[in-house]
Amino acid sequence: MLKDVTLGRYYPIESPLHELDPRTKMVAILIYIVTTFLASTPITCALTFLVLCLLIHLSKVPVRYMVKGLRAVVIIVVITDLINIFFVENGLWKAFIVTLRMIEIVLGSNILSLTTKPKTMAAGIEKGLGWMKRLHVPVHDFATMISIAFRFLPILTQEADKVMEAQKARGADFESGNLLRRAKALMPILIPLFVSAFRRADELALAMDSRLYGSGEPTSLHPLKYNTSDGVSYLLAFAYLALVIVLKVVHV
């Protein structure tokens, strides 16, 4: 029942996008998201959508799997659309833009997480923000936190399921009643889950300490380095950003 949490996780195949450096992908996706906000005319909207299709194609992730990620935002989109259509001037077009933007942002960031391993992503963030170390920002610790969160997500999900089953067997009812009642019914799950998560965290911290975590300047088994394809990607991404800005300025 909680399996859906794992959506949007790494999709292990080989593709040009899988091979790119995580820093390149993060910058490119950030640029892409910026352009979706800039796009407001039919031509620019078509352009951003075209780029999205191109990225999905390059990622080689099946479209069906990709669009599953949209389920999470359907309700929000529908509500904003209804408000736009009924209460806002020129609402149909606005609703269209908002919907498109939402889809593009969700799928855009999905492309990033589907083509990049959590560990690589963390390494990318660490390296990309490396300059902040000089300001005593614990960048490496944040990166470790992220990869550990990904490692324990399936374990905790499984555990939540187990606790839920156990409470159901004792007659707990999670599916009926109003929102407040259902939220209350969740308490007997959350408490054991928290207790166990803290115990795990405690033990994990000991295991990490004993393996010399934080003893010096760490190295990596998978050091990041840029290839030609990364250079090309940066170039394309910035060229695309420039194009959208120009189109915006000349009101096309």
Partner 1 sequence: MPLIEVDNVTFSYPAKDGGVNALTGLNLKVEAGSFVTVLGSNGSGKSTLGKLLNALLVPQSGRVVVDGLCSSDKANVYEIRKRVGIVFQNPDNQIVADTVEDDVAFGPENIGLALDQMKVRIADSLASTGISDLALTKPEKLSGGQKQRVAIAGVMALEPKCIVLDESTSMLDPKGRTEVLGAIQKLRMEKGIAVILITHYMEEAVDADYVYVLDKGSVALEGTPSEVFSDADTLEALGLELPPAVKVWQMLRAKGVVVSVPVLTEEDLVSALSKLMRQKGGASC
φ and ψ at 82, to 5 degrees? -60, -45
Q: In this structure, are residues 224 and 23 in contact, taking their beta carbons and an 8 Å threshold?
A: yes
CA dist 111 and 17 (Å) reads 9
**Nearer residue to partner 1 within complex by CB, 210 or 228:** 210
* Amino acid letter, residue 65: Y
**Nearer residue to partner 1 within complex by CB, 145 or 236:** 145
**Nearer residue to partner 1 within complex by CB, 214 or 231:** 214
Three-state SS at 251? coil
Supply the minimum distance, in Å, between the C-beta of residue 79 and partner 1. Answer: 37
Contacts with partner 1, residue ranges (CB under 8 A): 117-119, 144, 147-148, 150-151, 154-155, 199-200, 203-204, 206-223
Supply the minimum distance, in Å, between the C-beta of residue 153 and partner 1. Answer: 10
**Nearer residue to partner 1 within complex by CB, 170 or 222:** 222
Burial (0-12, 13-18, 19+ Cβ within 10 Å), 24:
buried
Supply the minimum distance, in Å, between the C-beta of residue 202 and partner 1. Answer: 8
Q: In this structure, are residues 91 and 36 in contact, taking their beta carbons and an 8 Å threshold?
A: no
Supply the minimum distance, in Å, between the C-beta of residue 210 and partner 1. Answer: 5
Pick from 15, 72, 10, 34: nearest CA to 241 = 34
Q: In this structure, are residues 71 and 119 in contact, taking their beta carbons and an 8 Å threshold?
A: no
**Nearer residue to partner 1 within complex by CB, 70 or 161:** 161
CA dist 133 and 161 (Å) reads 39
Supply the minimum distance, in Å, between the C-beta of residue 200 and partner 1. Answer: 5
